[in-house]
Amino acid sequence: MTRVQNRRARTRGGELDECLRACAVHSGKLVGSLDRRRVELAEQLRKLLVVWGTTTTAAAPAPAGATALLKRAVKGAATPASGIGNDLLDALLAVANKALECGYDDELNLALVISDTVLAERKNSRAGWRLRARLLEALGEEAEALDAYERYLGLTDEDGFGVRARIAGLRAARDKERDLLGLLGRQTPRAEGFARGPATDVWAEGLAALAVGDWTEAEPRLVGALLALAAEDAPVGDRLELLSQYLDLRSDRADGADLPAFTEAVALYAEQRRHRMRGPVPDPTVGGVQWITLGEFRNQIAGKSICLIANSGRVGSSSMGAEIDAYDLVVRFNSYRIEPKHTGSRTDIHATIHKHGFNWDKQVTTRLVFGGISGDWKYSLRNRLVPGAQTYLGDESLRWPVRNIGRLGTDAWSGIPTTGFNMLWLLDFLDVSPTLDLIGFDFYETGAYRVQEAMKLAITSVHEYTSEKAWVMQRAQDVTDMRISLR
């Protein structure tokens, strides 16, 4: 029985009623938690309980309030008569994603229950298979994670989450780790004799020899334990932790004679770590892209008429394509969808959040990627940028306009600024465009109009849409049903 099967045996995943009860019980465990990630998970669990309460059968009406729902769940409650509907599916996935972010054993077990349940109910759920893959990866089950990622790719034409790059990275890392273990085996011939015993026991023997200063006896046992872990297909985290410890111990003893061999081992270790973090980077220059600063972007747009196109249902039925293409510069956002009659056909500037990879392969003149955390932003650029898909790319001076240029902290702007608001604020701040029009901006009153793969993404509550709308309307010079003119 595999480790994941052991977890499943303990958590009884796969049945919708058991899954919902597990979620309700877990909600009670989080009461009073001070852990930010668990607080966010508790909020998603509360929303799930509300959705569950509204979808139960009329024969078993839901009591009001999360507390009543929790009591009812523990005692046993009716599940929705029609199985897992779209609202319940979305709520379950939101809980699982937050549980996965927590990373603790209890939360990973909960995510596994939800994953099994979702795929039992919806065997071709793209979101379900991507959740399964990320969960298996977090559990260190890379081979199973790769299979799940492949299942996800087989169900979609879009790769907005960079799954192909993730698969390539995991496979390359696995190859480099195998090369490293082969090298260590050759460098320490006696290790093979210790590779057949239980890895934990052999490792302990190595540490015991090291404690009395006998590196000659310690090293073959330590390397033997690493080989045994690989043979046992131990979780990736366990293997990498002991690999790191071994290299640290060896670095303290590396002399002139051992230094070239040690350097070769460290290089392989670094390569497998790098591939797991970001995947292969075949073209580090990204097609010779030209980085532009805030000042250079200002010069690029100066004197040009600009329109910003919302990803809204209103745009999708507007018949404004020709008018949109008549502007000097057309700005689109994130997972924009092109339907020339309604949306126009040109995209000069693509503004996107770093977390998603939609439309990064579409040819544009300038791509501005927004992100609040510098390290995460750089990671996304390395993994998502498509060589040749953009001529210019905004540098770090353009990474997070509202916060970094405008210095609007959470005290002045509590919500996370949307991609659209960051872009609009930047253009308003630079103030070099004679025409600055917003097309179809109704702040999702008519729903989203995106590429198909992104249509299931939630309209998240972390943004202050009401505040953003108020900011826009305070500056509007002219307003029609389809167009808001700021200049």
Residue 77 has pLDDT above 50, yes or no: no
For the segment 197-253, what is each residue's pLDDT rounded down to a tens digit?
A: 799 999 999 999 999 999 999 999 999 999 999 999 899 999 999 999 999 999 988
97-112 mean pLDDT:
94
Specify the pLDDT at position 239: 94
Query: Quick check: pTM over 0.85?
Result: no
Cβ contact 449:455 at 8 Å = no
**8 A C-beta contact, residue 272 and residue 176:** yes
Which segments of 232-346 does DSSP mark as H helices, in order?
236-251, 259-278, 294-301, 313-316, 321-325, 340-343
pLDDT tier for residue 167 given thresholds of 50, 70 and 90? very high
At residue 391, the 3 state secondary structure works out as strand
pLDDT class for 436, splitting at 50, 70, 90?
A: very high
**How many CB atoms are closer than 10 A to CB 187?**
16
Evaluate if residue 444 carries a pLDDT over 90: no
Check residue 68 and give its pLDDT: 55
Q: What is the mean pLDDT of residues 135-139?
A: 94
In whole numbers, what is the pLDDT of the chain averaged over residues? 88
Instruction: Give the model's confidence band at 327: pLDDT under 50 very low, under 70 low, under 90 confident, else very high.
Output: very high
Predicted local confidence at residue 111, as pLDDT: 96
Distance between CA atoms of residues 331 and 222, nearest Å: 57
Question: Residue 226: CB partners within 8 Å, gap ≥ 6?
Answer: 181, 184, 191, 199, 239, 242, 243, 246
Question: What is the dihedral angle through the alpha carbons of 263, 379, 139, 95, rounded to the nearest 10 degrees?
Answer: 170
At 307 the three-state DSSP class reads: strand
pLDDT tens string 4-49: 655 555 555 558 889 999 999 999 999 989 998 999 999 999 999 9
- pLDDT score recorded for residue 452: 80
Any alpha helices (H) in 302-356, and if so which ranges?
313-316, 321-325, 340-343
Q: Please spell the DSSP secondary structure of 392-417, one letter per residue.
A: EEE-GGGS-IIIIIT---TTT--SPP
- The answer to whether the beta carbons of residues 448 and 473 sit under 8 Å apart is no
182 within 8 A of 207, measured Cβ to Cβ: no
Residue 428 has pLDDT above 90, yes or no: yes
Confidence of residue 58 (pLDDT cuts 50, 70, 90): very low
Residue by residue, DSSP assigns 23-36 as HHHHHHHTTT---H
User: Residue 340 pLDDT > 70, yes or no?
Assistant: yes
Give Dmax (Cα) for the chain.
82
**Contact yes or no for 435/300 (Cβ under 8 A):** no
φ, ψ (nearest 5 deg) of residue 378: -65, -40
Residues 6+ apart with CB under 8 A from 291: 392, 393, 394, 395
3-state secondary structure of 352: strand
Give the H/E segment covering residue 426.
helix 419-430
Residue 98 backbone phi and psi in degrees, to 5? -70, -35
